[in-house]
Amino acid sequence: MSARTIATALAVLALAGSSAMAEKVTNIGAFEDWTAYSYKLNGKPECYTFSRPTAMKPARLDHGEVVFMITAKSNAASRTEANFQAGYTFKAGSNVVASIGDDTFTLTTDGSNAWLRRADREADFLKAIRAGDNMELTATSARGNDTSYVVSLDGVTAATNRILTQCR
C-alpha cells in the first residue's frame, strides 16, 4: 500500500472518528479553518492538515464527506502533497481545477480522490495556498454533475508550518 493511500485512509478514519485509529492519530493543532494531525508509520512521524469546504454547489446534491488535505512528505522532492477528497466518485478521466486568485492548478482524479497532475508543481501550489484567502475547486461527478467548492485558507500557513516542522 502506498504512503498516499495510507495517508488518505488514516485521514478518512480520523475524520470519521474511528475508535480503532483515534488512539494512533494525534491532533497537533487547530488553526482557524484548518486542523493538523500526526501519526506514526513504520516508527516515523507522518503529518497532515485538512479543511472542509465553507460552500458546496449545487446545494441540492449530497456531496458526502468533502475535505482538502495537505500531507507533509519527509522523503520526497516536494515537502508536501495536496489531496482533494470528495464524498462521491469523480467522472473517469476528469480533472479537478483548483483556483486561488489568479493561479490555477489541475488535479487528476482517481475514484473519489484528486492530486496534482504534476507533482513538480506542489511547491507552487503550497505557495499559492499560503498566499490566498480562498480556494475554489470545480469537479465533475461520475453521474455527470458539475460541482464546486470553496475552501477557506484562513490558518493554512500556520497549519502547514506545524506539519512541516513536526514531521521532518
Q: What is the pLDDT along the chain (168 residues), one digit of tens a residue?
A: 344 444 454 554 445 444 444 348 999 999 999 999 999 888 888 999 999 999 999 999 999 999 999 999 876 667 899 999 999 999 999 999 999 999 999 999 999 999 999 889 999 999 999 999 999 999 999 999 999 999 999 999 999 999 999 987
Which residues pair with residue 55 across a beta bridge? Answer: 150
- The domains of the chain, with CATH numbers, are 3-166 (2.60.40.1880)
Q: What is the pTM of this model?
A: 0.85
Q: What pLDDT sits at residue 3?
A: 46
Q: What pLDDT sits at residue 76?
A: 64
